[in-house]
Chains A and B, each alone.
Chain A
Amino acid sequence: MANRIPRVAVREQDAKVRATNFEEVCYGYNREEAMLEASRCLHCKNPRCVTACPVNIQIPEFIAKVNEGDIEGAAAIIAHDSSLPAVCGRVCPQETQCEGSCVLGVKGEPVAIGKLERFVADETLGKATAECAPSNGIKVAVVGSGPAGLACASDLAKWGYDVTIFEALHKAGGVLEYGIPEFRLPKDKVLKHEIDEVKRLGVKIETDVIIGKTVTIDSLMDEEGFKAVFIGSGAGLPKFMGIPGENLCGVFSANEFLTRNNLMKAWREDYLTPIHAGKKVCVVGGGNVAMDAARTALRLGAEVHIVYRRTEAELPARREEVHHAMEEGIVFDMLTNPVEILGDEKGWVRALRCIRMELGEPDESGRRSPVPIPGSEFEIETETVIMALGTSPNPLISKTTEGLEVTRRGCLVADENGATTRPGVFAGGDAVTGAATVILAMGAGRTAAKAIDEFLRQ
């Protein structure tokens, strides 16, 4: 039986070696490995993996094509539902989505759907697959060039719309560019090609335009002739804990640390932007961003601790990232919560004062909530503290646009199709949900594209 074949292991850079460089960790499958892994798929009648995928990629169908060795055929099937497969194959939390619902996973290992998607995307990178309808000349503005914006823009462009993406930073990609490090998502090798593909569809990308400051949504619609706007501005504002000492020198948001490293390429000697890791770094948090910051600091030469208030089982990061971080030698201080950052006489971080935690009753998220153990405070000596506690949407747009409602948490109010409280203005991704995943943002961008198309046809 096909499922007797064990899951094909993916080749990776040796943990000791990769801890000192920014090359991609995972090498991905070659053709033989991919075809062998593809042969494990049972082609379920009611494929649960498809339902579990936020954009419902026809997974068994593309895997069948891989099994036949028809990689371009597989790419065409994926392209029908996803515009960023090389990205998603790398950064999606497959274990809670497609692979998490794979029948093979009940008794053994699920099909490596993410790795197969990545293989197909990498093999066909730069080879155009999507076709465009003739131009209809209707202008649509997209705010933000992250996953939500890119997905929305490419669908609209395929249907003939004249789409311009406005990006606040100097480079397109949003969190894919500033947030996710090179060792997890290579920029020139992978991301650039996926963005070039969106441009090939006719989408214009205007960088250095901050919507809400450089121009407003009102002026785009009233003066520049845009008939609809999609806001995919993400969740870019860093959170801090509100504990004493957070403004000491050597305390950084993960956003600052990662933006310096990724967008500004501070890890490269020939780029001018500085970055400070020091000898020892404590990263506070347990999500993907915490793992990215920790592994970046490690590669910059620091000893790194992850400080997290729950246990390993509750870490919200992708399992693969946690596994990789552990292999690379990052120390996990679990059930530990910072209460204060202590400084030296020069105003630099000296230590992180923490309290031990234990797990109590489950909270509304279903996770057991951590409770401090009285009297258990202790200090971790450290030079640098990186706060990776999540992010919230930037208020620049909502504050400068008439009629856009936001929730108490600063998220844009939008219905299930992405329509905001202002006619003609749609939104999706982290700007609506708060920080979530690349694939959910992409899905929201595509849903909104459909709604924009319907709105403009009326």
Chain B
Amino acid sequence: MFEILTKEMLTPIICRMKVRAPRLAAAALPGEFLIVRADEKGERIPLTISDFDREEGTVTIVTQKIGASTADIIAYEAGECFADVVGPLGQPSDFVKMSPEELAAQRYILIAGGLGTAPVYPQAKWLKEHGVPVDVIIGAKTKDLLIYVDEMKDVCDNLFVCTDDGSYGFKGMGTNMLEHVVAEGHSYTQAVIIGPMIMMKFTTLTCKKLGIPAIVSLNTLMVDGTGMCGACRVSVGGKTRFACVEGPEFDGYEVDFDEAMRRQGQYKSEEAAVNEKHVCKIGRG
């Protein structure tokens, strides 16, 4: 069992939890993810690791309510336990494996969309700690859906925030913000884009236009997360890759986003049926 130590709602539907998982915390690196199964009847849900503390033996997860299973996860309170928390899964970000010389030549722009801001945080933190220039763009539909704005300020050189409706920061999407920032004279050697599939697709296109290499982190369907099921397969450069063990980060220029989006929706009708019947555990005694 994995105890939830703290819980806070970052928005009405996004929740941050610190969970005790010492083995996982000791091994975690930026770019990796984990899987939570809330209880015996729950799904195995891949979630991003938004922070980890090796000494404390904890990992921080950020979950957005999307369907029945994520609703169950965010209904848990501090002091309660998840049945399973397993990881770290996937490959760490490329920069983790770079030599100091390689790192010295980099200028990163991390572009986060919505919930994707959570996994961007440990990446920015790692880069900042290693003295690599790093700017961050956070985009959300509206002010109420922005997360990690204050935390991010401490771990990057320049933070740019935008909302689709202009309720906070720059008015526009991440793609507009990026073009604006580059037009202002900022230049980057590498972009990392994490957010909804559609946002990653269009932000990759903007990066391509601006000549910035782009890495994306794919949130595909998964069951085991260890390479067993193949539900996460994506076409990258015309080859089938398993996002769980070979990813989740891939060269955005090479990813077939349209296929990835279709595959992500494969269980939509089954999930709709579950959501209709499912009694959410929020408010259970």
Write the residues of chain A forming the contact surface with B, with a CB cutoff of 8 angstroms: 168-170, 178, 207-210, 213-215, 236-238, 240, 246-247, 249-250, 252-253, 255-256, 259-260, 263-265, 269-276, 346-347, 394, 396
Q: Which residues from chain B contact A213 at a C-beta distance below 8 Å?
A: 27, 87-89, 226
One digit per residue, 1 when the CB lies within 8 angstroms of any chain A CB and 0 when it does not, for chain B 241-267 equals 000010000000000000100110111
- A264–B69 Cα distance when bound, in Å, is 13
Partner of B270, one of A253, A270, A276: A276
Query: B266–A247 contact, CB under 8 A?
Result: no
Q: Which residues from chain A contact B278 at a C-beta distance below 8 Å?
A: 272
- A253–B242 Cα distance when bound, in Å, is 12
Q: Which residues from chain B contact A270 at a C-beta distance below 8 Å?
A: 41
Query: A274–B86 contact, CB under 8 A?
Result: no
Asked if B37 is an interface residue, CB under 8 A from chain A, the answer is: yes
Known: A249-B263, A253-B229, A272-B68. A168 touches B27 (CB 8 A): no
Partner of B245, one of A271, A347, A396: A396
- A102–B271 Cα distance when bound, in Å, is 51
- A443–B27 Cα distance when bound, in Å, is 34
Among A249, A250, A274, A347, the one with the most B-chain Cβ atoms within 10 Å of its Cβ is: A274
Partner of B229, one of A215, A238, A269, A396: A238
Among B87, B223, B245, the one with the most A-chain Cβ atoms within 10 Å of its Cβ is: B223
Q: Which residues from chain A contact B233 at a C-beta distance below 8 Å?
A: 247
Q: Which residues from chain A contact B44 at a C-beta distance below 8 Å?
A: 170, 264, 273
- A396–B233 Cα distance when bound, in Å, is 17
Partner of A168, one of B42, B224, B259: B224
**Prevailing SS type, chain B contact patch:** mixed
Query: A238–B86 contact, CB under 8 A?
Result: no
CB distance from B75 to the nearest CB of A (A): 13
Q: 8 tightest A-B contacts by CB? A: A274-B270, A256-B229, A208-B86, A347-B262, A253-B230, A274-B267, A170-B84, A236-B228
Q: Which residues from chain A contact B87 at a C-beta distance below 8 Å?
A: 210, 213-214
- A240–B26 Cα distance when bound, in Å, is 35
Q: Which residues from chain A contact B83 at a C-beta distance below 8 Å?
A: 170
- A253–B230 Cα distance when bound, in Å, is 7
Query: B43–A264 contact, CB under 8 A?
Result: yes
Given contacts A213-B226, A249-B266, 6 further A-B contacts (CB under 8 A): A214-B87, A247-B240, A256-B228, A272-B41, A272-B69, A273-B223
Query: A394–B226 contact, CB under 8 A?
Result: yes
**Prevailing SS type, chain A contact patch:** loop
Known: A168-B86, A213-B88, A347-B259. A240 touches B230 (CB 8 A): yes
Known: A170-B44, A214-B87, A276-B267. A256 touches B231 (CB 8 A): yes
Among B68, B86, B224, B229, the one with the most A-chain Cβ atoms within 10 Å of its Cβ is: B229
- A263–B88 Cα distance when bound, in Å, is 21
Query: A260–B230 contact, CB under 8 A?
Result: no
Q: Which residues from chain B contact A246 at a C-beta distance below 8 Å?
A: 240
Q: Which residues from chain A contact B235 at a C-beta distance below 8 Å?
A: 247
Query: B86–A255 contact, CB under 8 A?
Result: no
Asked if B85 is an interface residue, CB under 8 A from chain A, the answer is: yes
Q: List 15 A-B contacts (CB under 8 A).
A: A168-B224, A178-B228, A208-B85, A214-B24, A214-B88, A215-B23, A238-B230, A240-B240, A255-B228, A263-B223, A264-B43, A272-B42, A272-B278, A273-B44, A394-B227
Asked if B274 is an interface residue, CB under 8 A from chain A, the answer is: yes
Query: A238–B228 contact, CB under 8 A?
Result: yes
Partner of A256, one of B41, B230, B274: B230
Known: A170-B84, A272-B69. A236 touches B274 (CB 8 A): no
Closest A residue, CB atoms, query B266: A249
Closest A residue, CB atoms, query B229: A256
CB distance from A234 to the nearest CB of B (A): 9
